[in-house]
Amino acid sequence: MTTPVKVGIVGLGRWAKVLARAAAKSDKLAIVAGYSRSEDKRAAFEQETGIRAAPDLKTLLADPEIKGVILTVPNEQHLPVAEEVAKAGKHIYTEKPIANTLEDGLRIEALQKQYGVQVIVGHSARLLVGTRMIKRAIDQGDLGRVAFIEANFSNERALELTPQTWRWYRDKAPGGPLSQLAIHQFDALHYLGGEISEVSSMASKLSPVGAEVDDQSMTLMRYADGKIAYVGTCWTSPGVYAIRVFGSKGLMHYELDFSTWDTPGEIHKTSTLYIQRGKDGYGKREDIAIPEGDMFRDELEMFAQTCITGRPCELTAHNGNVAVAVVYAALRSIERKGQYVALSEVMAEAQAKVTASARAVA
């Protein structure tokens, strides 16, 4: 690439500004236009970022120089906006989750074949430098056979919810932190461990504010090759993000300061990564230096490459739907008092609904 790929962005809230800052550090991608239904947001975004605001979505999509569009709209709007972008022949980057429901996620995935575009999903957690270093160690055999993985992503969000915030409501934030935080780890553990076959989960509501959503959950996952994993998420505690991978020859632990999430160039300064080998105890762990990284710039540059080649990257719509399927399998398991739920069951039922809906419209 000799010149940056030009893309647009739709939805100009807080996260659009985070991605605009990341794009400004890249020589491979440039956000050249933004759109929001709110005139005030359009003006504020243009003033803060210097990126011109389009008066309407049609104008943005009509620009032949724009090869792809970033979606930072609310989750329930991902599908209708993605359809408009795909009809215009532009590639799509949508923030995670791919959609609020698995059915909508599958419909977004189907846009690729229908309109000849690619969809990538911003599951940036798998791009964290520490996570990539663990994957490299697994692939090189440094940990031996991996049998168990545990992870946690928690923060204090449930203590701050009000009826005026969308995360208060079950239909907008299914499972509370399950769909808002744990989904990051579901994708990261899919990346680290491979195909997930079934899920068991429990949840509780302990925040005093009275929101509709649960605010604590514990989810167990079984992989197709027999390994098992645990993902915990608490919405009433200080923030934490941690992954620990256990193998026959060693274990690796990665933890970062969640308060630096929006400024990824700072994450390495307060992160921990170590390997503990063989029969050595914690006292003999080997601390590993973590180089600086920027998972948001990395995902945007993956999108730029997709816009040029028309080929998918690892942040596929399918992988995005696997993460959503784990969420919905966990929710079904909670309803069934912790019974295991196969991902294939959840995927098949969602696809059947999509197919039936398409036939009804036809």
Whether 348 maps to a domain, the answer reads no
**Do 120 and 141 share a structural domain?**
no
Whether 340 maps to a domain, the answer reads no
User: What's the average model confidence in pLDDT over 351-357?
Assistant: 95
pLDDT (0 to 100) of residue 347: 98
Rounding to the nearest 10 degrees, give the CA dihedral for residues 346, 211, 96, 81.
90
**Do 171 and 119 share a structural domain?**
no
pLDDT (0 to 100) of residue 361: 81
Average model confidence (pLDDT) for the chain? 96
Whether 325 maps to a domain, the answer reads no
**Do 142 and 89 share a structural domain?**
no
Residue 262 reports pLDDT greater than 90 = no
CATH number reported for the structural domain that contains residue 12 in this entry:
3.40.50.720
pLDDT (0 to 100) of residue 1: 52
Q: Which two tokens stand for residue 256?
A: 């970062």
**Do 114 and 132 share a structural domain?**
no
Whether 349 maps to a domain, the answer reads no
pLDDT (0 to 100) of residue 200: 98
Q: What is the pLDDT of residues 9-19, one digit of tens each?
A: 999 999 999 99
**Do 158 and 30 share a structural domain?**
no
Alpha-helical regions (H) of the chain: 14-24, 39-49, 57-62, 78-87, 102-115, 129-140, 177, 183-193, 295-309, 317-335, 343-361
For residue 41, the number of C-alpha atoms closer than 13 Å in the C-beta half-sphere is 16
How would you classify the pairing of strands 228-234 and 29-35?
Answer: unpaired
Q: What is the pLDDT of residues 297-349, one digit of tens each?
A: 999 999 999 999 999 999 999 999 999 999 999 999 999 999 999 999 999 99
**Do 150 and 139 share a structural domain?**
yes
Residue 233 reports pLDDT greater than 60 = yes
User: What's the average model confidence in pLDDT over 118-122?
Assistant: 98
CATH number reported for the structural domain that contains residue 290 in this entry:
3.30.360.10
pLDDT (0 to 100) of residue 129: 97
**Do 152 and 87 share a structural domain?**
no
Report the candidate in 87, 4, 18 with the shortest Cα–Cα distance to residue 294.
18
Entry pTM:
0.95
**Do 69 and 10 share a structural domain?**
yes
Q: What is the pLDDT of residues 17-76, one digit of tens each?
A: 999 999 999 999 999 999 999 999 999 999 999 999 999 999 999 999 999 999 999 999
**Do 165 and 70 share a structural domain?**
no
Better-predicted residue by pLDDT, 359 or 347: 347
State which residues form the domain around 120: 5-124+297-315
Whether 351 maps to a domain, the answer reads no
Q: Which two tokens stand for residue 201?
A: 């989960």
Whether 321 maps to a domain, the answer reads no
Distance separating alpha carbons of residues 168 and 207, to the nearest angstrom = 11
Whether 177 maps to a domain, the answer reads yes
Q: How many domains does the chain have?
A: 2
The letter for the amino acid at 127 is L
pLDDT (0 to 100) of residue 211: 95
pLDDT (0 to 100) of residue 19: 97
Match 């500004």 to its residue by tokens: 17
CA distances to 43, 120, 126, 301 from 310, in Å = 33, 11, 22, 14
Residue 216 reports pLDDT greater than 60 = yes
Match 């948001």 to its residue by tokens: 296
Residue 275 reports pLDDT greater than 90 = yes
**Do 151 and 129 share a structural domain?**
yes
**Do 149 and 9 share a structural domain?**
no
Whether 49 maps to a domain, the answer reads yes
Q: What percent of the chain has pLDDT over 90?
A: 94
User: What's the average model confidence in pLDDT over 77-94?
Assistant: 98
**Do 211 and 166 share a structural domain?**
yes
Match 């209708």 to its residue by tokens: 80
Other CB atoms within 10 A of residue 171 CB: 11
